[in-house]
Amino acid sequence: MLCPKCGYYDESEENVCPSCGNIISLLAGKPVQGAQSIRQGKRAREIARSRPAQKARTDEEMKRRSGASHATIEMPSVKDERFAGNDYFDAMTVSEDDGYGPSFERRRRTFYDEGTDAEQAARYAAFQQNEHYMRRRMINWIKLGMVIAGAFVLIVLGIVAYLKFTSSGQMIVTRTAFRFPSLHLEVNSSSLWTLGEEFFDKGEIQKAIECFEKAKQMNEEEKVTNVDGLLRLGSAYEAAGMIDEAAALYEAIYTETPTRSEAYKAHIRLLQSSQKEGDLTKAGNLMKLAYENTHETVFQNQRNDFLPKPPEVNLTAAYYEKKEHITLTSYQGFDIYFTFQDDAVLPHDGMKFKDPILLDEGTYHLRAVCVNGELVSDELTGTYRISMPRPMMPQCNLAPNTYKSKKTVKLKPGKDNVNDDDIRIYYTIDGSPPDLDSPLYKTGEQIKLPTGWVILRAIAVNQYQKLSNELIVKYYIDANPKPNQVFTNEDTLDSIKFGTMTQLEFFETYGEGTLAGVVETDEYETECRKYEYSWGYAIMNLSRKTWVVVEVSCTTGKFNAPRKTAIGDEEEYVTGQFRDMGQVESAKGNRGLYFNDKGSGKVWKMDDSTKIIRYIYATDSHEWQLEYHLKNKSVVRIDMKYVP
C-alpha cells in the first residue's frame, strides 16, 4: 500500500501508514468501498459525520440494551487514561432522553472538526472505546432486586413444597410438631403412624401410643381405616399393660373388617391368657366366628384342639314308629348337658345327662354339649320324630238299617290288627263320642241296642295309646218299648220359671230366707246373693236392675221335682223317667244316658257311695241344668240351675 502523504510503500496493505501514521485511504482522496473501506477506517469517519442521522437508532439501541429509565441522570465522566487532561472527556454527560446530552454532542462535533483526518479518526476510535466502556459499567439495580426477590420466593416455595408434598419433608414437620406442640403445625396421619413406629421400635411406648392415637383420630375424621396401624396400636397397648384397651381395639377391628385375621388372633391370644371368668368360652366362640368370616382352617383346627369334643349319642336322629331311648356319652369323661328347647342356652338352661332319655310320640330337637370348666364343646344336634302307628278303625257285624226287632251287635279290630293282642276298643250307644272313659268292649260281647234311633260309635286304641279313626253306624230299632223324652226347660221345680221369676215373687211364695252373702260364680258377670232356708238355699242374680231366681237346691220334699221324682228315689227310678239308651258303665263307673245337640244325660260316680245324675238342656243363649245327688244309691238333694 502506497502512502500518498509521505510516499512510503508497504506491501502488507495496512490502512495506517507505518511511517507517518496517517490513514492511507483517507489521504488518497479516492472513494473506497466494501471490506477495504472497513479496513482502512473510512466507514468510521463516515459514521462520525453522519452521527446525527444515526443518533436516534443508536440511542434506541442503548436504551434497549441498558434498560435505562426516562429520568435524566448525571453520570460522572469516565476518563480514558490515553486522553488524560482532555477537557472534552472531563465534561462529558449522558442524558436519558437520547443516551447523550447536548453538551456532549457539541463537543463531539467540535472534536471531530479539529485536526487532520487521521487525528479525527484516531480520536473517534478512542471515543468509541470509551463509550463502550462506560456502557459496560452501568447497573440496573431495580431489575437486579427483582431477580433476587424472585429467586428468594422460588427458594421458599421449594422448601414449602418439599415439606408438604414429600414423605421425608412431612416427617420433618411431624417430628417438629410432636416436639413443639405449641407451634400447631399441620401434619398428616401417615407421618404420625410412621413416627409412632419409630418410637415403638426405640421402646418409647407412651410416645408411640400418643402418635398412634392421634393418627387413629385423624383417620376416623377422614373416614379411613388403617388396619395395620390399628394393629400396631394394639401391640403398643399390650406393651403398656393396657390389656382391656387392646382387647376392645381388636374387637373393633374385626367387627369393621371381618375378613382380616390378625385382630382375631390377637384377641384370641388375650382371651386365652386371661384369668377372667368366661373369657375362655369367649375365645372358643371367637375362633368359630373367625373361621366363618375368614375361612382360614387354622382357626377351626385351633378350636378343635382347644374345646372339648361334642358328646356322642347311641341313636341316629331319624323317624321312628315306636318309643325309643337315647343315651349320651363323652369319651373324654366331661359332663353333658342337653335340652329339647330351641331357645335354651346351653349349658345354663340345659339338664345334666344321667339316665337314658325316653322319647315318646312327638318331635324332638335334641341339643347337647360337653362341659370342661369354662370350656363348652360344639353342640350335638339331631331331630327325632316318634310317630307310633295308628290302629285301624274297628269293624261291626251289623249293617246300618231299620230293624223291626231288638238287635245286638259285635265289634272287632280292623283287618291289620286282628292278631294284635294290645288292641282295645271303646264304644258308646248313647250318641256321645267315645274316649278312654267310655265302656271297654270285651271280645265276643253282644251289645244290646235300645229302641228308637241308635248311633253306635267306636274307636280302637293300641299299646302306644294311638287312637284309630272312629266307627259311626246308625240304626233305627222300630220296636217297643218306645224311648222316653230327654230333659227340657219345661221340666222344673214346682212352677218356678228360672231366670224370669223375681226375688219378690219367690219370697212371697217360699218365704224370705236368710242372706248368707254374695256368691261369685263363673257363669254370671253380675252380682249373686245366696239365701238359706230350712229346706236348702236359693240364689238370686241381678239382671237388668232386677233380682231374679237362678238356682234352687232342696233337701226335703218342699218342691215337686220334675216328672214326679223326689228325695229318696233310687237311681234306676230317676233314670227311668228320662231317656236312657242302656249304655253300660265305664271302667271309672260313669255311665252315659243320652247325648244329642240339645243336651245330655249322664251318671257321674264321685266316690264309692256318691253319684250325681246330671241332665242338661241348652239353647243358643241359655242353659238349664238338673242334678240329682245320690248317697248310697238314694237321692238326698235335688238342684236346678239356670245359666244365661
Least confidently predicted of 57-61, 196-200, 281-285, 310-314 = 57-61
Residue 31 has pLDDT above 60, yes or no: no
**Cβ atoms of residues 590 and 611 within 8 Å:** no
Distance CA 644, CA 631 (A): 30
Please give the full DSSP string across 30-82, using - where no structure is assigned: S---HHHHHHHTHHHHHHHHTHHHHHHHHHHHHHHHH---SS---------GG
Distance CA 270, CA 275 (A): 10
Q: What confidence category does residue 315 fall into, taking pLDDT thresholds of 50, 70 and 90? A: very high
Residue 21 has pLDDT above 70, yes or no: no
Which residues make beta-bridge pairs with 77? Answer: none
Q: What confidence category does residue 26 fall into, taking pLDDT thresholds of 50, 70 and 90? A: very low
What SS3 state is found at 568?
A: coil
Burial of 237 (0-12, 13-18, 19+ CB in 10 A): buried
Q: What's the pLDDT at 178?
A: 77
Q: Among 114-123, 302-311, 390-399, which range has the highest average pLDDT?
A: 390-399
Distance CA 436, CA 145 (A): 121
Fold of 312-385: Immunoglobulin-like (2.60.40)
Which residues make beta-bridge pairs with 437? Answer: none
Residue type, 211: C
Burial of 607 (0-12, 13-18, 19+ CB in 10 A): exposed
Pairing relationship of beta strands 536-543 and 528-533 according to DSSP bridges: antiparallel
More confident residue, 66 or 365: 365
Distance CA 502, CA 498 (A): 9
Distance CA 402, CA 270 (A): 88
Inter-CA distances, 570 with 614, 629, 632, Å: 14, 11, 9
Residue type, 5: K
**Cβ atoms of residues 552 and 538 within 8 Å:** yes
Residue 74 has pLDDT above 50, yes or no: no
Q: Among 147-156, 334-343, 368-377, which range has the highest average pLDDT?
A: 334-343
Neighbours of 374 (CB within 10 A): 14
Q: What's the pLDDT at 25?
A: 53
Question: What average pLDDT score do residues 297-320 get?
Answer: 92
Question: What average pLDDT score do residues 456-484 get?
Answer: 94
Residue 611 has pLDDT above 50, yes or no: yes
Least confidently predicted of 189-203, 360-374, 620-634 = 189-203
Q: How many CA atoms lie within 13 A of 478 on its CB side?
A: 4
Contacts of residue 538, defined as CB under 8 A and 6 or more positions apart, other chains included, come to: 506, 510, 513, 530, 531, 549, 551, 552, 553
The per-residue pLDDT for range 212-267, each reduced to its tens digit, is: 898 898 888 888 889 999 999 999 999 999 999 999 999 999 999 999 899 999 99
Question: What average pLDDT score do residues 142-160 get?
Answer: 84
Percentage above 90 pLDDT, the chain? 54
Please give the full DSSP string across 471-536, using - where no structure is assigned: EEEEEEE--SSPPPPPP-TT--STT--TTTSBHHHHHHHH---EEEEEE--SS-SS-EEEEEETTE
More confident residue, 418 or 316: 316
Residue 564 has pLDDT above 80, yes or no: yes
Inter-CA distances, 526 with 11, 145, 546, 548, 622, Å: 163, 113, 11, 12, 16
Q: What's the pLDDT at 374?
A: 84
The per-residue pLDDT for range 410-438, each reduced to its tens digit, is: 999 999 898 888 899 999 999 999 999 99
More confident residue, 642 or 144: 642
Q: What confidence category does residue 70 fall into, taking pLDDT thresholds of 50, 70 and 90? A: very low
Here the cell at position 264 is 382375631
Pairing relationship of beta strands 380-386 and 319-320 according to DSSP bridges: parallel
Domain 395-477 has CATH 2.60.40: yes
Q: What's the pLDDT at 71?
A: 43
Residue 509 has pLDDT above 90, yes or no: yes
Per-residue b or e along 213-236, where b marks 16 or more CB atoms closer than 10 Å to that residue's CB:
ebbbebbeeeeeebeebbbbbbbb
Which residues make beta-bridge pairs with 457? Answer: 428, 472
Give me the sign of the Cα torsion angle 465, 470, 471, 475.
Answer: positive
Least confidently predicted of 7-16, 92-101, 232-241, 365-374 = 92-101
Inter-CA distances, 74 with 45, 86, 141, 336, Å: 29, 19, 16, 116
Q: Same fold for the domain at 158-306 and the one at 395-477?
A: no
Q: What confidence category does residue 606 fall into, taking pLDDT thresholds of 50, 70 and 90? A: very high
Question: In the chain, what's the furthest Cα-to-Cα distance?
Answer: 198
Q: What's the pLDDT at 108?
A: 54
Q: What confidence category does residue 82 fall into, taking pLDDT thresholds of 50, 70 and 90? A: very low
On whether the pTM is more than 0.75, the answer is no
Inter-CA distances, 485 with 467, 477, 499, 617, Å: 33, 16, 23, 12
Least confidently predicted of 73-77, 555-559, 599-603, 633-637 = 73-77
Question: What average pLDDT score do residues 117-131 get?
Answer: 64
Please give the full DSSP string across 215-267, using - where no structure is assigned: HHHHHHHHT---HHHHHHHHHHHHHTT-HHHHHHHHHHHHHHSTT-SHHHHHH
Residue 163 has pLDDT above 50, yes or no: yes
CATH number of this structure's domain 158-306: 1.25.40.10
Q: What's the pLDDT at 89?
A: 45
Residue 49 has pLDDT above 60, yes or no: no
Element (H, E) at 452: strand 452-461
Q: What confidence category does residue 373 fall into, taking pLDDT thresholds of 50, 70 and 90? A: confident
> Whole-angstrom distance between the N-terminal and C-terminal Cα of the chain?
166
**Cβ atoms of residues 340 and 272 within 8 Å:** no
For Cα atoms 172, 175, 178, give the angle at the middle one, nearest 5 degrees: 145
| Domain layout of the chain by residue ranges | 63-136, 158-306, 312-385, 395-477, 503-643
Which residues make beta-bridge pairs with 440? Answer: 426
Residue 351 has pLDDT above 70, yes or no: yes
Residue type, 408: T
The per-residue pLDDT for range 516-556, each reduced to its tens digit, is: 999 888 888 888 999 999 999 999 999 888 999 999 999 99
**Cβ atoms of residues 493 and 559 within 8 Å:** yes
Residue 640 has pLDDT above 60, yes or no: yes
Nearest to 382 by CA among 348, 339, 336, 346: 339
Cis bond leading into 76, ω under 30°? no
Q: What is the mean pLDDT of the chain?
A: 84
Question: What average pLDDT score do residues 501-518 get?
Answer: 94
Residue type, 434: P
Neighbours of 70 (CB within 10 A): 7
Q: What confidence category does residue 27 fall into, taking pLDDT thresholds of 50, 70 and 90? A: very low
Q: What confidence category does residue 136 fall into, taking pLDDT thresholds of 50, 70 and 90? A: low
Here the cell at position 324 is 325309643
Q: What are phi and psi of 12, to 5 degrees?
A: -80, 0
Q: How far is CA 337 from the centre of its chain?
A: 31
Q: What confidence category does residue 593 fall into, taking pLDDT thresholds of 50, 70 and 90? A: very high
